[in-house]
């Protein structure tokens, strides 16, 4: 890590982990790749979570459960149902380095909320239920409603309701982060689209229909226009044109 780190604690249960994480200067540690990338001299204690969060993908009735400690590489190698197969591709695109994917966890990826992460965007389109542990209490809440507090124990996906998911990205080269990314999910009775990349905010647009036609695409365009940011990759108008193309393709694949 870095020189300010004095202690790494390995708690035996979620209660001890949560309490240790409330001490000023403490930070939760999953794979540690994000912490290592941006050293913070105020952090002196790391709370390792690998002993207290699940490290596997399992089924529980109608739910598919992804443990908070599951690595991105494990997401790639998992045999997903056809409706959720894009998770594997999104995990790979969001982190091109296999060495880092072997360390980076799904909970850490969600908690860091990178708006240019294909995996984060796709998971928000899916809107799985998060099992959160905070202050001695375990709760469940949709990922779209989570405000970033607590320890992510599991992500739960109702695979029976998911019909298909997909995403499209625009980047100068395949290994670069996308300056524009669009993810969508179609369920048995509704659909959801999110736009990410270099944006001021990532917002979900939901429809009471399972198709993404011209009316739905226009609504996404309206929501995205204020969120898209001009940069060296192009103007807002240019990105709106790319977005229109992406939405048309998603409308066909979803």
Which structural domain range is residue 210 located in?
Answer: 162-253
Whether 124 and 147 share a structural domain: yes
**Does some domain include residue 19?**
yes
Q: What does the pLDDT read at residue 33?
A: 86
User: What digits encode the pLDDT tens for the residues 141-165?
Assistant: 999 999 999 999 999 999 899 999 9
Whether 73 and 146 share a structural domain: yes
Q: What is the distance between the alpha carbons of residues 172 and 20, in angstroms, rounded to a whole number? A: 42
- The CATH number that applies at residue 216 is 3.30.390.50
CB atoms within 10 A of CB 43: 18
**Does some domain include residue 185?**
yes
User: What digits encode the pLDDT tens for the residues 168-203?
Assistant: 999 999 999 999 999 999 999 999 999 999 999 988
Structural domain count of the chain: 3
* CA dihedral angle for residue 16, residue 18, residue 22, residue 26, rounded to 10 degrees: 80
**Whether 17 contacts 52, CB under 8 Å:** yes
């Amino acid at each position: 890590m870095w020189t300010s780190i004095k202690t790494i604690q390995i708690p035996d249960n979620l209660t001890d982990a949560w309490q240790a994480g409330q001490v000023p200067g403490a930070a939760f540690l999953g794979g540690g790749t994000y912490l290592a990338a941006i050293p913070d001299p105020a952090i002196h204690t790391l709370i390792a979570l690998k002993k207290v969060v699940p490290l596997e993908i399992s089924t529980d009735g109608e739910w598919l459960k992804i443990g908070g400690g599951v690595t991105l590489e494990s997401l790639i190698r998992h045999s997903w149902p056809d409706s959720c197969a894009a998770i594997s591709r999104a995990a790979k695109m969001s982190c091109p380095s296999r060495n880092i994917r072997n360390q980076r966890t799904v909970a850490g990826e969600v908690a860091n909320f990178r708006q240019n992460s294909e995996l984060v965007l796709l998971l928000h389109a899916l809107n799985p239920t998060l099992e959160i542990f905070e202050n001695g209490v375990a709760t469940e809440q949709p990922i779209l409603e989570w405000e970033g507090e607590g320890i992510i124990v599991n992500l739960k996906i109702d695979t029976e309701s998911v019909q298909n998911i997909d995403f499209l990205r625009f980047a100068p080269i395949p290994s670069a982060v996308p300056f524009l990314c669009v993810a969508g999910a179609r369920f048995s009775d509704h659909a959801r689209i999110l736009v990410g990349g270099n944006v001021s905010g990532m917002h979900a647009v939901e429809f009471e229909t399972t198709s993404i036609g011209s009316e739905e695409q226009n609504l996404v365009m309206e929501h995205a226009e204020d969120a898209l940011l001009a940069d060296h990759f192009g103007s807002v108008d240019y990105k709106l044109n790319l977005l229109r193309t992406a939405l048309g393709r998603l409308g066909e694949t979803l």
